[in-house]
Amino acid sequence: MIATAERLAAEQGISREQVDAYALGSHQRALQARDSGWLAGEIVAVGNERFELDGYQARGIQLPRRVVEVAQDSHPRPTDAEALARLHAIHPGGVQTAGNSCAVVDGAAAALVGRAADCTGSPLALLRTASVIGVAPEIMGIGPAPAIQLLLQRSGLRLDEIGLLEINEAQRSGAGGQSGVGAGFGAPESAWRLHRPRPPLGGYRPAW
């Protein structure tokens, strides 16, 4: 995944400074989202718990001694451009570092997908369309760009009708507006920010 990001960075002329700046913004937005309580509604705290199942062995969660519960994301942290610039690139001469790559974290997420008509309240979201498309393995991180193009083509939607873009791409040089995925479907980074009604976390992702 890192090699992919480095190939994209080289191909698209994405600099270490650009990657670090994006990572810095991502950490800052994540901290802001955490501290303002924006994320509280989506997080369930994890504590010691036993999961019973009639007729079968119980399972459960046992945290380390002295840990009562895990209630907040641990990865976003206060940092600055100088601290990020001091980190060594993982591949010599490259742009990806431990500071600007995706978080390597443990956790889980769940969603219930059902019929909007059956919802008693209002659903969190409607799932309208989906697209999937393959790209060359050596630049697999560019995948979201042609997937978004395909989605727009087939759905008849225009990019300027999209109010919020969240791109799941682990390495900064794979995402980004002026280059990488953003350039691939024609969205300038300034437009993303303007159109985003909530704190975008950017590269802050627990993905590969």
Partner 1 sequence: MSSGQFSAFEDVAIIEALRTPWSDLNGPLAQVSPIDLGIKVGRAVLARADLDPAAVDSVLAGSMAQASFDAYMLPRHIGLYSGVPQQVPALAVQRICGTGLELLRQAAMHLQSGGQLALCVGSESMSRNPIASYEHRAGFRLGAPVGFKDFLWEALFDPAPGGGHDRHRRAPRR
86's enclosing H/E stretch is helix 81-86
When asked if residue 134 is in the footprint of partner 1 (CB under 8 A), the reply is yes
| Alpha carbon distance 194, 172 (integer Å) | 19
Which of 154, 186, 188, 190 binds partner 1 (CB under 8 A)? It is: 154
When asked if residue 107 is in the footprint of partner 1 (CB under 8 A), the reply is yes
Are 20 and 85 in contact, with CB atoms under 8 Å apart? yes
Given the rule CB under 8 A, which of 19-27, 163-171, 175-183, 186-194 is the region that contacts partner 1? 163-171
Using DSSP's 3-state secondary structure scheme, residue 70 falls into strand
Could you count the other beta carbons within 10 Å of the beta carbon of residue 144? 22
Which of 17, 155, 193, 198 binds partner 1 (CB under 8 A)? It is: 155
| Burial (Cβ within 10 Å: 0-12, 13-18, ≥19) of residue 117 | exposed
To 5 degrees, how large is the angle CA 90–CA 91–CA 92?
110
When asked if residue 83 is in the footprint of partner 1 (CB under 8 A), the reply is no
Residue 80 has which token pair? 């600055």
Which of 10, 15, 88, 198 binds partner 1 (CB under 8 A)? It is: 88
When asked if residue 37 is in the footprint of partner 1 (CB under 8 A), the reply is no
When asked if residue 81 is in the footprint of partner 1 (CB under 8 A), the reply is no
Per-residue exposure over 89-103, b if at least 16 CB sit within 10 Å of its own CB, e if not: bbeeebbbbebbbbb
Q: Which is nearer to partner 1, 131 or 178 (CB)?
A: 131
Given the rule CB under 8 A, which of 16-24, 143-151, 175-183, 190-198 is the region that contacts partner 1? 143-151
Contact string (CB under 8 A) for partner 1, positions 12-31, x = contact: --------------------
Kindly identify the residues of this chain, within the stretch 108-127, that bind partner 1 according to CB under 8 A.
108-119, 123-127
Q: Which is nearer to partner 1, 149 or 178 (CB)?
A: 149
Which of 10, 17, 32, 63 binds partner 1 (CB under 8 A)? It is: 63
Are 21 and 81 in contact, with CB atoms under 8 Å apart? yes
Q: Shortest distance, CB of residue 187 to partner 1, whole angstroms?
A: 18
